[in-house]
Amino acid sequence: MDSFNTLIQSEKPVLVDFFAEWCGPCKTLAPLLREAKLQLGEQATIIKVDVDKNQQAAAAYNVRGVPTLILFKKGKIVWRQSGVVPTQEIVRVFKENALI
């Protein structure tokens, strides 16, 4: 949890994908996140957190369903969305929050 906390304190926005191996929509979201990372390059940090293996992190951010995406900037939640999010929406949210 310490390295997670250090990571989300970054100046650069960090998108956390709370997912589960058994989750169908999570599997749908994975290639969309990869595409967003390709488009954003170094301005994006995207990490995946398995809620079954990291229940403490999921509980700390009140993650009730998967997939849940949370965008952090300097440790603060600046955007949160549950469900599958299109690549262009992910890219838009990153670009908006990179400017803050």
Q: Does residue 10 have a pLDDT over 90?
A: no
Q: What percent of the chain has pLDDT over 70?
A: 97
- How many Å apart are CA 44 and CA 88, to the nearest integer? 14
> Cβ(51)–Cβ(66) under 8 Å?
yes
pLDDT, one tens digit per residue, over 28-53 is 999 999 999 999 998 889 999 999 99
- How many Å apart are CA 95 and CA 41, to the nearest integer? 12
Quote the pTM value. 0.94
Residues annotated as part of the active site: 23, 26
For the beta carbon of residue 88, count every other beta carbon within 10 angstroms.
Answer: 12
List of domains in the chain = 2-98 (3.40.30.10)
CA dihedral 81, 18, 62, 90 (to 10 degrees): -20
